[in-house]
Structure 1
Amino acid sequence: MSSSATYLPVLVQICLAAGVAAVVIGASHLIGQRMRKRTRLTDEAYECGVKSDGAPHTRFSVKFYITAMLFILFDIEVVFLIPWAVVYREFLAHNIEIIAPILFFIFVIVLGLLYEVRKGALEWEK
């Protein structure tokens, strides 16, 4: 098999991705809201055909962002714990102890959680 034949699937995928991107961009320009200058809905939020009453960009509370950051922090913890749990048996088979580093990692995460609870970061309303 020649080297150019091995790259044929990659070329087909690149062409398909470029084609889909071109169709999506073209469709948004053809039927998008910018083409409807004659209507008064150009920069307004669209909600089931009913005109909006408030501002289109609502402000979020700082508590929302703090909660989101804490969620990401503990989500990253799970990302580190799952691979550790999978390879733990392999390390035990070779008599390599890795429980102490992961317990230290969990201790630091729990310490951070206790700090956040004590500071009231998880209380939604004050």
Structure 2
Amino acid sequence: MNLMTIMVLLITTLMVIMLLMMMTISKKSMVDSQKSTPFECGFNPMSYTRLPFSIHFFLVAVLFLVFDIEIIMVLPMILTVKTAITSTWIMTTSLFICILLLGLMHEWNNGMINWTT
């Protein structure tokens, strides 16, 4: 036999031995109905799907997205301070921050930030 066939046989034998060891050593887990069901935001997937949920959860998710995108916008602004034209950069950054502050004031006035409600 040549060297290539010996290597293929050796590798195949090792794979079969490892597979058999894995099958005999591995724990057999009990099938649990709670572990096998999907978990989506604390809702039971087998119940009625049109149950109302708290609008506060939705508002917190929207706030997270807004401020996540804000970070994506602010970081490049900070990195381009030295390369940009100063007056244009200051005006653009100030306008962006004013829009964010107005949105924060609107959320504050409408009670979206209150966690106790």
TM-score by length of 1: 0.51
Cα deviation for residue 68 of structure 1 reads: 1.2
Q: Which runs of 5+ in 2 are unaligned?
A: 1-29, 37-42
Q: Which runs of 5+ in 1 are unaligned?
A: 1-35, 48-54
Distance across 2 between alignment mates of 1:63 and 1:114: 17
- Pair 1:72 & 2:65 matched: yes
- Pair 1:56 & 2:44 matched: yes
Q: Which one scores higher on RCO, CA 8 angstroms, separation ≥ 6?
A: 2
Tell me the residue number matched to 1:46. Answer: 35
Tell me the residue number matched to 1:102. Answer: 93
Distance across 2 between alignment mates of 1:81 and 1:97: 15
Give the structure with higher Rg (CA): 2
Query: Could you tell me which amino acid in structure 2 is paired with residue 108 of structure 1?
Result: I
Distance across 1 between alignment mates of 2:112 and 2:64: 12
Q: Secondary structure at the match of 2:109?
A: helix
TM-score by length of 2: 0.55
- Pair 1:114 & 2:114 matched: no
Cα deviation for residue 96 of structure 1 reads: 5.8
Cα deviation for residue 46 of structure 1 reads: 2.0
**Overall identity of the aligned pairs, in %:** 26
Q: Secondary structure at the match of 2:81?
A: helix
- 5 Å-filtered alignment, 1:23-34, equals none
Query: Could you tell me which amino acid in structure 1 is paired with residue 74 of structure 2?
Result: L
Distance across 1 between alignment mates of 2:44 and 2:61: 22
Contact 1:45 1:56 in 2 (8 A): no
Q: Secondary structure at the match of 1:98?
A: helix
Q: Structure 1 residues 120, 97: CA separation in 2 closer, same or farther (over 3 Å shift)? A: same
Report the RMSD for the aligned CA atoms in angstroms. Answer: 2.8
